[in-house]
Structure 1
């Protein structure tokens, strides 16, 4: 694909001729557009194809019978040397696609031709500290703005027509280890963002900004003991929103550098008027330094979008000692069970268990394994969902060793990269199944002494990851939230690291590190489609309708955390090629 007006640094290129392209004169994205995204088919204006994050489309022109004829119609290259992992979900509005790429870049693309309309390149400083590759997972759209987070922990709002900066805000200090990799979400005219950086002893938080002006509205730290605040007329409200007593579930002053990063972003449910964010690992990894539950780390928190108040929380791994986080997306759905419809939500955790919760109050409905091997816990308490620990599989305390330098090594499954990591699940209202990209791997893990230092890695642990099986690591699973049973599965040699999408055409789509976009029968798991994009897929596919035709797009570009942190697994996939492109498909006329 020919590239137009490529610029270096932060400069934006825009073609005067492109101003006439359909879509650049659109009326902008409204709150109604965002709220109705899951029910409309002519655009994709939210991360998750709907604020609830179900990643389901009612389109069915591409279905199990026709998908064999699906063909690529254009491919757009991000170009340059800035490849690495491409984990973005594209957005589409009025004939224009907005997609992010590695190193905090944004592109606007004509959806009919694949031609570039404009490009924005963030000017990143030296010394950024992304933990897990230089990825970005997408933009938020509001009015005539394209809003995204950068690796130096800024929010940037661009003009949708030209790509020029409208406002820019510093969310946190990148030199302390903060960054932003997730796509923000828009709720009631506010842009909501989390932060990354849990491996550097930062304090996780969720913040809301006025989407049009960039003015801060509220901040909600996710480590117990830190206060939340609102702003009115540009001034901080004196009575902050309580974050719990300092040190209540943390020893000493460790809550001051407690981690719990909100690095994956959130979902929103209009019926309960609550946002759901996951929180990451407590810092440091060495759990013997911080006895207690360490709230609100490794949890799902329900947040009032108007004030930032935490309405409820559910902690999946209290006193986390394996870096299992709790950051994975919480997807709202209606659970039809026992003649009743329950306002439920489900999440597949890095710790290997899937949880079904009441999204109104966070109460535990059920939990069940979705991977084959779990060693750190014997199961879940059937009433509370709290894990029943196997204490012999917690990494040992270095203080108990002869030299005090290394605790006892244990073999823990899943590995810290998780039974499921960031890659989003999908839910079909047709099959009433969740489609879960999962991985079968384990790790040798041990604890070491450590101390907090601003901007330095704050782990206190060492590890090596190993595949559990020789034949496969990745498994796409269809899980029944009513029974906790696996309905079908597809095994993949390399780890799965990209998101799933499902449609009314009885299809599930997912990409693989080997480069394939694959389609499966949503009911049976039969593979009915594949196309190789030339580089590993670690992004999330989308679909929309334009001029009466159904389009499917996915970002291709191998990278992310696996080649950086994967140990023996990284050796298995070291031959995979990097890349950076958007591939778009449709049926022939």
Structure 2
């Protein structure tokens, strides 16, 4: 940090390390507090616990030998039954957490007593701008304030003691489909926040705001605007990027923003004074529209999509970048968790940056220069032969559907080999723990595709081609190939030391501790502790709901606690076949904060039954052509929230069971007129005509009748078997 001097801060850290480890009074958070967060064992004052984002705590009161005595100390029910993805912060014996819909709650960290709550009143119609649920991943702290990014694009400063609003700043153009789901970071009084919305045609950036009053200090765009060759004042890094784009996607008749949103990962090295950001996918996904005809090394790379970029936090100055997926066309974002560490490679210690982005390769880079050190696939993948000596993927032509124009089954699919769920690094074991999964997808270019910045999911593919057939047995077989894993990855050898396989994907973020433990929740509604050395399961707790958020640990009055926010949701939960998430059937959303300690005696209330409306649709009388048209529109506008083939999740309504199917006017009132806007179901009138909306209804009715018939046949088979 230029204003403080890392050497001075490091000296302070070493001199006060043992004292800080036992100190539970965090006080006002300043530059020294954040740089030395690793020495503050008692609290959790920033998103990944430290600027390095290792999510490792030295606490060892809970360890391999006694974790079997871990029990529920307290829990708190949330008032938002949607995906819960936040990392809590803990300071001064108080726990602060965000929930879905960008709400904030504060509790006594030892007892669970509610202290205050804040609701930013995000308008319901904002939900349709969020590709992946109305989630929020957490807060940042500076001074005696907390900072929140809201789904509708505001940055809010709250008084840490009361939750009162200190100031509020609009950070996006709300006329476009920008959202904020990620946690802010603070560096030397500057609050850093990015945004999401690439699928809906926005232009990505990250910006810095003054923690005192919200004044914008700088803005760093991740993709060019399209006129850099005519603008002498354009930054050199954007002029260089513009040379790697050749289509009119950035302007003109087909112009949409290009994507490249910075919606999650950040890390910071105070000694190098470098902020590292992960950049997202292109808009549209299909590069054929971003750089038509691109078919060569460097041509059509579309910088800085799918890249790790190092910038100066004081000024937003570009320093270096590394692109994980040049010419990205499969939604292979590089917004996944970034971890910084010092590790020995080839006999010398290297300052490295590590990431397991969506594309399936685990990367180790020199974080000072961006130099490529190594990369190897951490899951099966079929889009690249490998990574060459310069760090560039050797791509397979058959997977480049933007070039061939032909459909292809590509592994991994758009949910990646690793999504947003945070990794953890255990310095004693030298391992990175990855919440990985395997899932392929059929990508099929769509003829005559046009962008739609109003409500359209701008991917440039026929997503209907990915619809699974209605036969339940086939769907179960396909979903049975989707695997979730906890991987313990050796970043030096570039290989897995051990792995734990789960019944399904979309499992929670990770925490590693000095007690030799790794904590993780999963989609099977289980929260578990594993031996960090060999992966053996040492303890588990039935959480009653899928867990996707990462745990934290802290102490109050010398007693160690482990906390995790539970609540099934997010991209996979709302877009996958809700009844086939894993072999145990549907996963409910029961949103709660769960807090554990040794020897506690808390218990959850009984598990509620999953309530579902009957599958009782009207007869399907539409023509095959109408049903096909409705299926195409459903795939683009509805499937991202209500799942392919209209098989809804347990988080959002299952449209096959909707009472509006029997009433054309009622269905139009919801989809066209927006009568349920405040519930998150905004009007689609700007994108779809009434005739097209009625075709969607016809498709859903058709699918509901198919599934009702299958249920009846299955019931009959069971009855015959009993006889």
Shift of 1:549: 1.1
1:127 counterpart SS class: helix
Taking the aligned partners of 2:407 and 2:320, their CA distance within structure 1 comes to 35
Moved more, 472-481 or 433-442: 472-481
Query: 1:409 is matched with which residue?
Result: 407
- Which digits, 9 at most, give the CA deviation of each residue in 1:383-442, with x for residues without a partner? 211111111122256xx8xxxxxx522100011101000011111110011001100111
RMSD between aligned residues:
2.3
Partner residue in 2 for 1:377: 384
Structure 1 residues 95 and 106: alpha-carbon distance in aligned structure 2, compared to 1, 3 A threshold: same
SS of aligned partner of 1:174 = coil
1:553 matches 2:567: no
Q: 2:179, 2:372 → 1: CA distance? A: 32
For 1:574 and 1:264, the matched residues in 2 are separated by: 30
CA contact (8 A) 1:105 1:120 kept: yes
**1:298 equivalent in structure 2:** 306
Give TM-score, length-normalised by structure 2. Answer: 0.73
Q: Which residue of 2 aligns with 1:443?
A: 441
Q: Look up the match of 2:325.
A: 317
Does the CA-based 8 Å contact 1:539-1:554 persist in structure 2?
yes
Instruction: State the Cα distance separating 1:307 from its structure 2 match.
Output: 0.8
Compared CA separation, residues 481 and 161, structure 1 to 2 (3 A): same
* Structure-to-structure mapping, 1:482-521, within 5 angstroms: 482-521=492-531
TM superposition shift of 1:345: 0.9
Provide closer, same or farther for how the CA distance between residues 36 and 336 of structure 1 changes in structure 2, counting only shifts above 3 A. same
Question: Could you tell me which residue of structure 2 aligns to residue 53 of structure 1?
Answer: 53
CA shift for structure 1 position 243: 3.6
The separation in 2 between residues aligned to 1:483 and 1:123, in whole angstroms, is: 49
Q: How far off is 1:113 after superposition?
A: 1.3
Q: Distance in 2 between matches of 1:477 and 1:469?
A: 21
1:247 to partner: Cα distance: 3.3
Of the two, which has the highest radius of gyration? 2
Q: Which residue of 2 aligns with 1:130?
A: 130
- Report the Cα offset of residue 472 of structure 1: 6.2
Mark the CA change 1:50 to 1:366 in structure 2 (over 3 Å): closer, same or farther: same
Q: Conserved in 2, the CA contact under 8 Å of 1:184 and 1:265?
A: no
Is the 2:439–2:481 contact (alpha carbons within 8 Å) kept by the matching residues of 1?
A: no
Q: Secondary structure at the match of 2:250?
A: helix
Cα pair distance change 1:49/1:570, threshold 3 Å: farther
The reply to whether residue 584 of structure 1 matches residue 595 of structure 2 is yes
Alignment of 1:29-48 (within 5 A): 29-48=29-48
* Structure 2 residue 144 is the aligned partner of structure 1 residue 144: yes
Distance in 2 between residues matched to 1:518 and 1:54, nearest whole Å: 19
Q: Could you say what secondary structure the match of 2:444 adopts? A: strand
Sort the Cα spacing of 1:326 and 1:468 in 2 relative to 1 into closer, same or farther, 3 A: farther
Task: Summarize the alignment of residues 227-266 of structure 1 with structure 2, pairs less than 5 Å apart.
Answer: 241-245=235-239, 247-255=242-250, 257-266=257-266
CA distance in 2 between partners of 1:314 and 1:262 (Å): 15
Query: Quick check: 1:328 aligned with 2:336?
Result: yes
Give 1:347's aligned residue.
355
Contact 1:127 1:175 in 2 (8 A): no
Aligned twin of 1:455: 454
Distance 1:242 1:149 in 2: 30
Partner of 1:98: 96
Out of 525, 531, 545, the residue aligned to residue 541 of structure 2 is: 531
Where structure 1 has 5 or more consecutive residues not aligned to the other structure, the ranges are: 1-22, 229-237, 401-406
**2:416 corresponds to:** 418
Which structure is higher in strand share?
A: 1
Matches within 5 A, 1:22-33: 27-33=27-33
Where does the alignment leave 5 or more consecutive residues of structure 2 unmatched?
Answer: 1-22, 252-256, 292-299, 468-474, 601-723
Tell me how far 1:252 sits from its aligned partner: 3.8
Against the structure 1 CA distance between its residues 484 and 251, is the aligned structure 2 distance closer, same or farther, given a 3 Å change threshold?
Answer: same
Matches within 5 A, 1:207-226: 207-225=207-225
Matched, 1:395 2:390: no
3-state DSSP of counterpart to 1:534 = coil
- The SS at the match of 1:103 is helix
**Aligned 8 A contact 1:396 1:409 in 2:** no
Structure with more of its chain in helix, by fraction: 2
Aligned length: 546
